[in-house]
Amino acid sequence: MRINKNKYSKNQLLLIPECDADLPLALWESYEMAKRAKMRTEDEHKFEMEARDNVDQLAFDVMVRIYTPSRGKAFITHNPVIREIFAAPFRDRVIHHLLYALNGFWWDNHFIYDSYSCRDVKGTLLGIQRMQKFMEKASLAGSRPAYVLKGDISGYFMSLNREALFQRILWGLERQYPLHGWEYELCRYLWREIIFDALIEYQFRPVR
């Protein structure tokens, strides 16, 4: 394993895996990251009861390429609008954290500045503050009318072309790992399994 010189947040690995033997330790660190926000969920508690065995099994499944995402749960939320939410099982969230830790820093450096969702040292508050500055500039400090357009794309994630999304991921992996080494093959495999997962098989969970 090698030291992560790009580590700048709690969502990054301390040590970057470089071969199969490094995977259990990397997944354990990913597990620690995943459970920070899920300590009170039933799914997390079940995983934690035999955490070491579960992480080792997950590492084995990935190494021999038999890992596939588990069936998750779907539910409807009404706040702020009616929408369908897909919740991945905790086991798969560990994989998600691993991928984010391996690829997130590279992609973050290729985003435009004014993108705030799910980015370290950014977020809603910074986005609002940035918008206020634009409003002050556009309205000449409130001396003339200015307008803000709030928009959304209906069914955006469900309408994504998965093949096009995967090709975009490959575009990034080709540039992040130009030598096509172990990390490239690992990320390529995991991204394919996640992107082409059959979301329609998720169990429906009614809202109480």
Summarised one tens digit per residue, pLDDT across range 1-52 is 887 776 666 777 878 899 999 999 999 999 999 988 666 778 888 999 999 9
Interacting residues of 192 by C-beta distance below 8 A, sequence separation 6+? 166
Angle at 27 between CA 21 and CA 31, to 5 degrees: 160
Please report the pLDDT score of residue 129 as a whole number: 93
> What is the rounded average pLDDT of the residues 159-184?
95
Distance CA 166, CA 99 (A): 14
The tokens of 91 are what?
């086991």
pLDDT of 87 > 90? The answer is no
Residue 169: domain span: 2-204
> What is the rounded average pLDDT of the residues 97-125?
89
Q: What is the pTM of this model?
A: 0.84
Instruction: Say if CB 92 and CB 69 are below 8 A apart.
Output: yes
Q: Domain count of the chain? A: 1
Interacting residues of 138 by C-beta distance below 8 A, sequence separation 6+? 146
Distance CA 56, CA 67 (A): 12
